[in-house]
Amino acid sequence: MTEVLLLEATDAFTSVAVRGRLDAAGVGEVDLSLTGQTVARRRPAVIDLTEVGFIASLGIGMLVAIAKSMRMHGVGVAVVAGPPVRTVLEMTHIAPLIPVVATREDALRALGVA
Amino acid sequence: MTPPLRWTFGPANAPNHLRAASDELDTILGEHRLPERTCFAARLVCEEIVLNALEHGGASFVTMELEPAKDPLVLVFEDDGASFDPEARAAERGPDATGEVSRRGRGLILVHGMSRGIRHHRDNGRNRLTIALVD
């Protein structure tokens, strides 16, 4: 099962973590929840995927949709990911829209809220 | 000689069937001591090719076969959907007029990134894709 955990919600930013897999089944399980906890808050958001062991194009599409919605509200999103997932994200050239970094601190810096 | 392993997917409940197949792949390929990167590639290519055939190609079924002891690991897919040759769709792997890569384009990028060779054959209204994975 894939799940979303709200780690921190301040006036400056939102931090959430996803655990599980972002395959087709996993995206179906967390899409609404992840969108609700990031886009709906209209604050810069860190999405921590360090406990995600697998991501496919549907999962990347979900992140892109979230980032585009947030950009419309003038806020950004950054992703923290470990090597296998980071490699997949980098292959699909999403960096101009979503910085993909190794640590939460790097993500907050990328969003300008560190 | 061990016969190839075979999975069949249909439009009904495809995400859950794919997840079950992904778990089986992980176990089988792990038992054959294949590198983690190859296991990851097999699961990713399986997900992308099967969903593409069902969602974009309108296939009523997709099969996947593999022989875990073969080096390099080769996945063979067959489906009855619209003709689909990943090699002929290089343009989709780049940005469109709006500067974006489509979801299908991202899937193609991932399949190419995880493979060392792709062959497409169309016969009798069926696609046959042979994909050799990275080490």
Instruction: Note the pTM of the prediction, 2 decimals.
Output: 0.93
Q: What percent of chain B is predicted at pLDDT more than 70?
A: 90
Instruction: Give the pLDDT score at B135.
Output: 80
> What percentage of residues in chain B have a pLDDT greater than 90?
75
Q: Is residue B76 a contact partner of residue B64, using CB atoms and an 8 Å limit?
A: yes
B51 vs A: CB within 8 A: yes
A3-111 homologous superfamily: STAS domain (3.30.750.24)
Q: Residue B18 pLDDT > 70, yes or no?
A: yes
Write out residues 78-117 of B within 8 Å (CB-CB) of A. Answer: 101, 103-104, 106-107, 109-110, 113
CA distances from A49 to A31, B125, B130 (A): 14, 41, 32
Q: Looking at chain A, which residue has its C-alpha nearest residue B39?
A: A54
- Chain B contact present for A11, CB below 8 A: no
A2-11, A70-79, B38-47, B88-97: the lowest-pLDDT one = B88-97
pLDDT-derived band of residue B91, with 50, 70 and 90 as boundaries? low
Reduced to 3 states (helix: H, G, I; strand: E, B; else coil), residue A10 is coil
Q: Which long-range contacts (CB under 8 A, 24 or more apart) does B90-99 make?
A: none
Q: What is the pLDDT of residues A17-43, one digit of tens each?
A: 999 999 999 999 999 999 999 999 999
The residues spanned by each domain of chain A are 3-111
pLDDT in tens, B29-69: 999 999 999 999 999 999 999 999 999 999 999 999 998 88
From chain A, the residues in CB contact with B106 under 8 A are 57, 60-61, 92
With an 8 Å Cβ cutoff, are A24 and B43 in contact?
no
Average the pLDDT over each of B1-5, B70-74, B119-123 and give the range with the smallest value: B1-5
* pLDDT value of residue B94: 67
